[in-house]
Amino acid sequence: MKLQFLYRRRWLLMYLPILAGLLLGCAWAAVVWKPLPPQRVVLATGPAGSSYLRLAQSYAARLERLGVQVDIITHPRPQDALDRLARPADAVDVALAQGLYAQQGLPVQGLAAVGHEIVWVFARGGVQGIAQMRGLRIAAAATGSSNHRAAEMLLAHARIKPEEVRFEPLVGDAAIAALADDRVDVVVHVATGESSTAAALARMDGVRLVTVERAGALAAREPRLRPLVIPQGSIELRSDIPSTDVAAMATLTHLLVRPGLHPALQRTLLDVAHEVHSTGGFLEGQGQYPSVRGGDFPLSPVAQQYALGIRPWLETLLPYRAAQWAELVLYALVPLSALALVLLRRVPVFIEWRVNAALQHFYGELKFLEADMVKIATGDPIALRWVVTRLDKLEKQVADMDLPDRFADRWYTLREHLSSARERLLKLRAR
């Protein structure tokens, strides 16, 4: 490539490619390497009117104050939210689910356990424990629901087979009415301590809260259930409900995300979880939740780092959205811009280096030619003719050089040196 062409087309051949590389690098950093967190998140939850929906609305209100729009999707069954989160093709980012639905190999990650739900067991008559439920009618919602799963676990713990009882697909007000009308003998209901269904069942005449025998042994065999004690009078102190301490089981409520959700958004969800759940609730201590210990789902790596206090330092200084922009600018745009600036400043140096290399090449050839001239004997016309041919070729190459105007003085100096070499050669031939 001619140097003059390279110099005149330096914007097209060097400056513009560097600027285009800068833009492509910034686009790659913003999309692939350090993308900004999404401005909208889809949160899946249980049925409309449930405690899960109220909890999701609390999350949405706090996230929207941070500039994250939340789309809440309700489902007829609580397990449907987890099923949609586990499908990669579905557009669900976050879900609230019970630990009873945890299975091996689900493509979801847990951020934290945000609370627990008690397995309430209410029965009529003289039912004192789970072992006395053989042959009874049990209202435990539909097959596959958390109520039904919990009932099957409790019965298996008491060595009662499912075919030895009669399950009724009733839940909520329907289960309360069936127990009041003596159409069922037992109601198994998985819910929080603030559940209106549990409160109504606890206050019914002739209905008692059934204790779970050997609750610790059941928890050791079934990790998705945790033992707890419902203290005497904790439901209603004045009416002394329950009348004695009751051993019961509970399952954890989990805040789940799909793998690959933006780490900044996961940390923000954990911040919101601390705001929502740190005050405690029924049989939940102050600061007990959210917790990353003993979860039923695989823990997200971001949640592990969060539990250790590891998070980007900019997020501790700036608001949520500003911190993400600052990280992108500081760690991606600034280094790429600095590199592009260095390359742009090296373009003139590169052109000068090319000119120097070309001139040095000709000076080197001239030096070898002068050395040969000294060694040539005057009586050797063949050697002199070969030197003259080399000098002619060298002068033609220099004359054809197309240098930028700013290097014209050095080009003329090279021409003068070649002329001096030719004069020396002519004197040598004259001898």
Q: pLDDT digits over 161-190, tens only?
A: 989 999 999 988 999 999 999 999 999 999
Name residues whose C-beta falls within 8 Å of residue 32's C-beta, 6 or more positions apart in sequence.
none
Q: Point out which residues pair with 251 in neighbouring strands.
A: 117
The domains found in the chain, sorted by start residue, are 3-14+328-430 (1.20.58), 40-311 (3.40.190.10)
CA distance 230 to 225: 15
Closest C-alpha among 355, 263, 278 to residue 315: 263
Would you call the peptide bond into 242 cis, given omega within 30 degrees of 0 as the criterion?
A: yes
Closest C-alpha among 117, 120, 116, 125 to residue 211: 120
Residue 32 DSSP label: I
What is the Cα 319 distance to its own chain's centre? Answer: 19
State the pTM of this model.
0.78
pLDDT, residue 382, reads: 67
CA distance 312 to 125: 59
pLDDT, residue 1, reads: 46
pLDDT, residue 148, reads: 92
Owner of token pair 């109520």? 147
Q: Which two tokens stand for residue 242?
A: 């329950």
Residue environment code for 51-76, b if the CB has 16+ CB neighbours within 10 A, otherwise e: bbbebbeebbebbeeeebebebbbbe
Q: Which two tokens stand for residue 343?
A: 């390359």
pLDDT, residue 362, reads: 76
pLDDT, residue 403, reads: 66
Positions of the chain with pLDDT under 50: 1
In 29-77, DSSP assigns E strands to: 40-44, 69-73
Coil/strand/helix, residue 186: strand
Q: Which two tokens stand for residue 305?
A: 């780092």
φ, ψ of residue 128 to 5 degrees: the values are -95, -30
Amino acid in position 213 = E
